[in-house]
Amino acid sequence: MLSSNSLRNLSESYRRMGQYQDQLATGKKITKPSDDPVVAMKGMFYRSGLTEVEQYKRNLSELYLWMENSEAGIEQANNGLQRVRELVIQGKNGALSPSDREAVAREVEQIKADLVQVANTQVSGRYIFHGTDTDNPPVPVENPPTVAVNLSDPSLNNYKVEVSPGVSLRANISPANVFNQELFNVVQEIQTALENDKPEDLEGLLGRLDKTMDTLSSERAELGARYNRLEVIDSRLGQQEVMANRVLSDNEDADIERVITDLKTQESVHRAALGVGARILQPTLLDFLR
C-alpha cells in the first residue's frame, strides 16, 4: 500500500512538473483543450474575433490602394485638362497662324491620349475607373475616344468593400462623372477646331471644358471625404486589434514568473517526496526494523 501510494503521488508530481515545463516552453496556459476546456472555448471565440479584425484591415488595404490610385488619376486628368484650357485660350489668339494652331492641336492630341491612358488605369489587373466592371477598359483605345457603352449604368458605381460588420465603403469613383463621353468629346472638338483653324468655335468649347473640370473637381472632393472616413475606420480597427490581442493574451498566455515559481516549488516538493519515500520503503526487513 505504501509503495502504491508513493508511486501514484510521485507520478502526479512528475505530471505537474511536466505541465509547468510545457507552459514555460510554449508560453501558453494550456497545450490541449482537455487542460482547461473553458480557456480553450474562450480562446476559440477571441481568436475568431481577432481573425475578423485582421481580415477587415486587409480589406482596408485594398480600399487605400483603389482610392490613392483614383486620386492620382484624377490629379493627372485635372492637370491635363488645365493644360488644354491654357491651350484653348492661346488658340483663341487671333495673332496665331494656322501652322501655330496646328502645333497646338498636336499637343491637345497628346493630352487626349494621356487622358485615355489614365482612364484605363489598372491596379492588380483590374480597371479602377470602370466601376464593378473591372475586367474591361472603360475607354477602348481608339481615335476619337469612345467610352464603354454601359459606363453610365448606375450599378457600375458601387464597387464596395466591407470594412466592418454590416458596413461597406465604396472604393471606386463614379465613372460617369469623371472619364465620361463629354470629356473626350470636348477635347476632341477642341483639337478639331484648332486643326481646322476655327478659333471662333473655341469660346463655346471653353465653357464646356470648364463644366467638365467642375464635375471632375466635385468627384475629387467626394473621394476625399470617403478617404477621410476610411482613415477613421482604420484607426478604430487598429484599436480593436489591440484590444482583441490583449484579451486573447490574458486568456491564453501563461504568467511566466508565476510558472517558474510554481515549478521550483514543485521540484522542492518532489525532492522531499523522494527522500521520504526512500526512508519509508526500506529494501529489507532488517532495515525496516532498524
Distance CA 217, CA 212 (A): 9
Distance CA 259, CA 203 (A): 84
Using alpha carbons, list the distances in angstroms from residue 16 to 19, 23, 262: 5, 11, 9
Query: Is the four-CA dihedral 182, 118, 144, 140 of positive or negative sign?
Result: negative
Peptide bond into 154 cis (omega under 30): no
Note the CATH architecture for domain 55-248. Answer: Up-down Bundle (1.20)
Residue type at 266 in one-letter notation? Q
Distance CA 129, CA 152 (A): 12
Residue type at 187 in one-letter notation? V
What pTM, to 2 d.p., does this model score? 0.74
Domain boundaries, the chain: 55-248
SS3 label, residue 169: strand
Residues 6+ apart with CB under 8 A from 226: 67, 169, 170
CB of 108 within 8 A of CB of 90?
no
Query: In this structure, what C-alpha cell is assigned to residue 240?
Result: 480593436
Residue reference for cell 475568431: 48
Distance CA 204, CA 198 (A): 12
Residues 6+ apart with CB under 8 A from 162: 56, 59, 168
CB of 187 within 8 A of CB of 113?
no
| pLDDT tens sequence for the chain (290 residues) | 777 777 787 788 878 888 788 778 878 887 777 777 888 888 888 888 889 999 999 999 989 999 999 999 999 999 999 999 999 998 887 778 888 889 999 999 999 999 999 999 998 888 888 878 888 888 877 667 777 655 556 556 678 888 888 888 888 888 778 888 889 999 999 999 998 888 888 888 999 999 999 999 998 999 999 999 999 999 999 999 999 888 888 888 887 888 888 888 888 887 887 777 766 666 665 655 65
Dihedral in degrees, nearest 10, Cα atoms 10, 11, 13, 16: 180
